[in-house]
């Protein structure tokens, strides 16, 4: 995805719906070029096209979350990708930042294998030449497009990796939180088979909570987030000896 297409998503994040003519004027390119960009983004599920307009995806699934604040999520994912070397096998859990991490790895690394419970991630990178994906089996959840349940644990037991990357719905004094118990169980199963656990999240998640503890602070090695994190929260995480990496 090029910088102009990223700008289109950022504009849509703020305006929700915008005409092709307005995008053409704002980005100083022809309407033909804008239409080509919109076609590509629509194929990726990041927006929906209407006659003469582009609009945010209406459903509350991962496609909508991915297209919101896309550039910020991309910078977080790029920062996390720096920790992965050619030839590594990593686990990546669901989430929009995690999906972008997977895309970067298959494009910019050689011989990287991704083990995931996310059908969305497997589909999102399927056309990339370097994609080598192992999809964990389980019960399919429609909106997040992930596999959950006891079969995920059973499948995850077959692997051991150095790194697990996971998303989160929020935080509290116990750790990273989730709004879905079955997702929580899947992440914990994957975490048991990883040496190092990292969280990818936008800084606004630190002001949100969840229903169940996804991962306690004691097992989190690194948090990749953006520089808008509050100073008090940053200091607290570092006092717990969590490595916090900030994307500009």
- pLDDT tens-place values along the chain, 248 residues long: 778 888 888 888 777 788 999 998 988 899 899 999 898 888 777 788 888 888 877 655 566 677 678 889 999 999 999 999 999 999 999 888 999 999 999 999 999 999 999 999 998 888 888 789 999 999 998 877 889 999 999 999 999 999 999 999 999 999 999 888 888 889 999 999 999 999 999 999 999 888 888 999 999 999 999 999 999 999 999 999 999 999 98
Q: Enter the tokens of residue 32.
A: 């033909």
16: helix, strand or coil? coil
> pTM here?
0.79
Q: Are 6 and 71 in contact (CB under 8 A)?
A: yes
Q: What are phi and psi of 71, to 5 degrees?
A: -65, -40
Domains in the chain, ordered, with CATH?
A: 3-58 (1.10.10.10), 71-247 (3.40.50.1360)
């Amino acid at each position: 995805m090029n910088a102009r297409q990223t700008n289109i998503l950022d504009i849509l994040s703020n305006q929700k719906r915008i005409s092709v003519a307005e995008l053409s004027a704002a980005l100083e390119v022809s309407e033909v070029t804008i239409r080509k960009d919109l076609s590509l983004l629509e194929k990726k599920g990041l927006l929906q096209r209407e006659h003469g307009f582009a609009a945010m995806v209406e459903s509350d699934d991962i496609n909508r979350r991915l297209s919101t604040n896309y550039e910020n999520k991309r910078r977080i994912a790029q920062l996390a990708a720096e920790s992965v070397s050619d030839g590594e096998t990593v686990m990546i859990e669901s989430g929009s930042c995690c999906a972008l991490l997977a895309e970067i790895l298959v494009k910019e690394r050689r011989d990287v294998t991704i083990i995931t419970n996310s059908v969305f991630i497997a589909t999102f990178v399927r056309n990339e030449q370097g994609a080598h994906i192992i999809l964990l089996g389980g019960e399919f959840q429609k909106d997040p497009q992930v596999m959950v349940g006891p079969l995920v644990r059973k499948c995850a037991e077959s692997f051991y990796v150095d790194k697990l990357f996971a998303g989160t719905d929020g935080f509290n004094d116990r750790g990273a939180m989730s709004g879905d118990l079955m997702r929580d169980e899947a992440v914990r199963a994957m975490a048991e088979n990883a040496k190092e656990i990292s969280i990818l999240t936008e800084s606004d998640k630190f002001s949100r909570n969840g229903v169940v503890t996804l991962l306690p602070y004691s097992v989190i090695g690194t948090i990749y987030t953006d520089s808008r994190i509050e100073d008090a929260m940053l200091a607290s995480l570092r006092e717990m000896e969590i490595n916090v990496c900030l994307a500009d």
